[in-house]
């Protein structure tokens, strides 16, 4: 291919930028958002099958934050093509060293308080294991191991780890296969990925231990004679270690 003779680049019109971004998004479906070329904001354009909870999970965000940033009163009512901003307004910069020190101290205190509160609230949820099997991957504080991978027989029952409402049931989130997300409270969600088949729909209320799916297989290479379930627990959009909340076995 010959190089273009013109070296001066003109900014793309906004409409063309949006269309190009949408094409890139469709061609690389594992990318949940892109940067708006006009504002630099991280944004997501709602596609068919999207839910606020799935968008939040894909970006490690709290669905309530996305709702607040975009003035969404009902998280169930998204429009295809709707533009969602995935970040809040920037915080004002600190003016003095004393202010920055106080801010850091306050942040540390707030985080400690939040952690203690989240632990207490998690204890109010009667968690149970979502399926039988061997844990072949444990939780780690990175982007590739955000839950437990449990291995057992393909088609084995998968049950709700706690009571709640199904807020996502489908295969529209890349890398998770057939996925179910259950909301247990405003802060707590659980997710069940790589399922062979799904038995619940969005909006269903499920009790702890009720059948929601059958175990399937993950996309990564592995034991093709066995099934796997990726199980996550999330607090305010962030994955937490399920082993800290599940009963010993």
**Residue written as tokens 């099958």?**
49
pLDDT for residue 105: 38
- Beta carbons within 10 angstroms of residue 8's beta carbon: 4
Write out the CATH class of domain 14-85: alpha beta
Say yes or no: domain 123-244 is CATH 2.70.70.10: yes
Whether 64 has a pLDDT exceeding 70, the answer reads: yes
Q: In which element (H, E) is residue 134 found?
A: strand 134-137
Question: What digits encode the pLDDT tens for the residues 102-111?
Answer: 333 344 433 4
Integer Cα distance of 84 and 238 in angstroms: 19
Q: Which are the contacts of 87, defined by CB distance < 8 A and separation ≥ 6?
A: 41, 42, 69
Whether 135 has a pLDDT exceeding 90, the answer reads: yes
pLDDT for residue 109: 36
14-85 and 123-244 have identical folds: no
Mean pLDDT is highest, among 6-10, 62-66, 233-237, for: 233-237
Q: Is 56 helix (H, G, I), strand (E, B) or coil?
A: helix
Integer Cα distance of 35 and 21 in angstroms: 9
User: Cβ(34)–Cβ(21) under 8 Å?
Assistant: yes
pTM recorded for the entire structure = 0.66
Residue ranges per structural domain of the chain: 14-85, 123-244
């Amino acid at each position: 291919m010959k190089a273009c003779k013109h070296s001066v680049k003109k900014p793309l019109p906004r409409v063309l930028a949006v269309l190009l971004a949408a094409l890139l998004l469709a061609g690389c479906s594992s990318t949940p958002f892109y940067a708006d070329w006009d504002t630099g904001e991280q944004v997501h354009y709602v596609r068919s099958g999207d839910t606020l909870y799935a968008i939040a999970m894909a970006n490690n965000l709290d669905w309530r934050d996305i709702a607040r940033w975009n003035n969404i009163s009902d998280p169930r009512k998204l429009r295809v093509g709707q533009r969602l901003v995935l970040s809040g307004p920037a915080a004002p910069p600190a003016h003095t060293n004393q202010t920055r020190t106080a801010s850091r101290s306050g942040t540390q205190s707030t985080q400690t308080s939040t952690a203690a509160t989240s632990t207490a609230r998690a204890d109010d949820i009667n968690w149970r294991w979502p399926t039988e099997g061997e844990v072949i991957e444990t939780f780690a504080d990175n982007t590739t191991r955000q839950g437990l991978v449990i291995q057992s027989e393909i088609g084995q029952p998968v049950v709700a780890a706690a009571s709640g409402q199904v807020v996502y049931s489908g295969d529209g989130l890349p890398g998770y296969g057939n996925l179910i997300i259950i909301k247990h409270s405003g802060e707590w969600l659980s997710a069940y990925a790589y399922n062979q088949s799904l038995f619940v729909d969005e909006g269903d209320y499920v009790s702890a231990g009720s059948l929601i799916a059958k175990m399937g297989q993950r996309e990564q290479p592995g034991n093709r004679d066995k099934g796997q379930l990726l199980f996550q627990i999330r607090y305010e959009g962030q994955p937490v270690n399920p082993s800290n909340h599940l009963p010993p076995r």
